[in-house]
Amino acid sequence: MQAHESRKKQSGLNILVVASELYPYAKIGGLADVVASLSAQLHASGHDVRIVIPRYHRIDGEAYSLHPCLEPMGVWMGDTEEWCSVHITTGDDGVPVYFIEHHLYFSRDGLYHDQAMHDFDDNPRRFGFLSRAALQLCKDIDFEPDIVHVHDWQAALAPAYLKLWHWNDRQLGQAASVLTIHNIAYQGVYPKEHLPYLGLGWHNFTPEKFESFDRINFLKGGIYYADGVTTVSPSFARETTTPFGGFGLAPYLSARGPCFKGILNGIDYSLWNPQTDQHLPAHYSLEQPENKKACKRKVQELFDVQQDEQVALIGVVGRFVEQKGFELLARTLERILGNMIVQFVILGTGERHLEQYYGDLPKRYSGRVGSFVGFDNMRSHLIQAGCDFFLMPSLFEPCGLTQMYAQRYGTLPIVRATGGLEDTVEQYNESTGEGTGFKFWEVSEDALYYTVGWAISTYYDRKEHISRMMREAMKRDFSWQHQAHEYEATYYQAIANKKKWDESHTSYYW
């Protein structure tokens, strides 16, 4: 079946979004939430937004009302033609979502790796194919994007394909591209033997483009070819242009100059709102905060810690990996428990040795520590609502969403001031009681220990300050409306950059 979607050009932009995750269909981390909520806001602002993701094995077609859009669809890679099918649905936000179905590449349990956390060997082929298929889809349904907005290394080849393969296409020749980097530590670095399949040409295997220590670097090439590059907070943008923060890509990001910027992520208040959250036993608000205590009791009950609304309760939710500070927390947590009157509830999954460590804590600290190894959306919402503090000791954090959720729920963040954590949490002022959380800068056990201690002592000794901070935190506006305007400005700048590229590159590669 073929699908053609010619239409009269509207006043807004035509935007193609390409990503490897999208809430609620496939989610590993915050990327899925950001792609969904930003796309919804852009759609609400009058733009024609289309999203393309893989049809993973876990996506239930019946549950999400998927139906065929194109079958088959031929996708030419560098040295072979692949065949796939495309399914479509429309989300509750009105945004069409296209699912690329290729059984060999996407019909497996994991998104990026197997149960032992080993990357799939064919990841460069899988996600190179995703980028090519998303662009081929535009040709086959006659959709003419003004902007192709791609997310992270998994979609980072699309900007290169636009300039190398599609520069004179009717549907794609005028499209500008924007690459958003959500986590620069993951760059998509693979053996160069995949280059013929990807169809990039050996002339692109150079240090300023795709070559990195004799391997292909997807993200590096995307940075070179994209008409605009963003990351997910202003502070993280600055950090990535430093030798430590750029993970080897600092010179290439710096070379993009004003074409590289940080735009803070927003959050979806239709999902994260203590006044309406369906996962809570009772709702509360800035004006009527009393029911937050009922949420605290529910968290204590659910995680099997002593039910005492007077004791300070700290929540932790995240991936059990070094980047998120879980190694640092593991080295510090028992010192905190040994010297402070405090409870912890911990939710997450990740490295096996960390899963075992945090999973065993309730046996050793019965009534004081509760943990759940795995992903549980209900528990995640309850922790945000029912805790007094939310801890994020990240070594680096491009943006982070959970610290913004926490503030909406009146739960005060304790964070290391890096990336988006620095941008979104206002440091407590002990003299005035102002602020929305507690920050530390040094990556050390002492810095974490004493900052947690500072928060706990404030909780017991300066309750009026805690109340003021909760009110300030709940007033913060992290909605997508402002950030969407920044993306719109970035899109128009990318379109201008694309025109300059076209003027300066009078000959293309083939």
Compare 506 and 96 and report the one with higher pLDDT.
96
Indicate if the pLDDT at residue 1 is higher than 50.
Answer: no
Whether domain 14-266+482-504 has CATH 3.90.1150.10: the reply is: no
Asked if residues 54 and 100 have their Cβ atoms less than 8 Å apart, the reply is yes
**Confidence band for 509, pLDDT divided at 50, 70 and 90:** very low
Tell me which amino acid residue 236 is: F
pLDDT of residue 375: 86
Instruction: Tell me the pLDDT tens digit for each residue of 8-17.
Output: 445 799 999 9
Per-residue confidence (pLDDT) for residue 510, from 0 to 100:
40
Question: pLDDT tens digits, residue range 356-372?
Answer: 999 999 999 999 999 99
Burial class (CB within 10 angstroms; exposed 0-12, middle 13-18, buried 19+) of 16: buried
Residue 34, token pair as written in the block: 């950001």
- Residue-wise pLDDT tens digits, 126-182: 999 999 999 999 999 999 999 999 999 999 999 999 999 999 999 999 999 999 999
Q: Report the half-sphere exposure of 395 (CA within 13 A, side-chain side).
A: 17
- Fold matches, 14-266+482-504 and 292-475: yes
Q: Determine the Cα–Cα distance for residues 1 and 318; give it in Å rounded to an integer.
A: 42
Q: What is the pLDDT of residues 429-449, one digit of tens each?
A: 999 999 999 999 999 999 999
Q: Which residue has the tokens 């193609």?
A: 16
pLDDT at position 106 is 97
* pLDDT surpasses 90 at 5: no
With b for 16 or more beta-carbon neighbours within 10 A and e for fewer, the 473-482 pattern comes to bbeeebbbee
> For the segment 384-395, what is each residue's pLDDT rounded down to a tens digit?
999 999 999 999
* pLDDT grade for 189, boundaries at 50, 70 and 90: very high
Q: Which of 21, 13, 6 is nearest to 52 (CA)?
A: 21
Residues β-bridged to residue 317: 347
Residue pLDDT, tens place only, 46-86? 999 999 999 999 999 999 999 999 999 999 999 899 999 99
Average pLDDT, the chain: 95
Instruction: Write out the DSSP string of 452-466.
Output: HHHHHHHHHH-HHHH
pLDDT(313) > 50? yes
Which region among 9-23, 367-381, 458-472, 481-495 has the lowest average model confidence (pLDDT)? 9-23
pLDDT tens column, 106-129:
999 899 998 887 899 999 999 999
Domain ranges of the chain: 14-266+482-504, 292-475
Write out pLDDT tens, residues 474-505.
999 999 988 999 999 999 999 999 999 998 88
Residue 482 is predicted with a pLDDT of: 86
**Residue 339, SS3 per DSSP:** helix
**Enclosing H/E stretch for 341:** none
Percent of the chain with pLDDT over 90: 92
Rounded mean pLDDT, 197-218: 97
Q: Which residues contact 42 (CB under 8 A, 6 or more apart)?
A: 15, 49, 484, 487, 488
CA-closest candidate to residue 99, choices 84, 78, 115, 110: 84
pLDDT at residue 6, rounded to an integer: 41
Provide the residue type at 459 as one letter: Y
User: What CATH code is assigned to 292-475?
Assistant: 3.40.50.2000
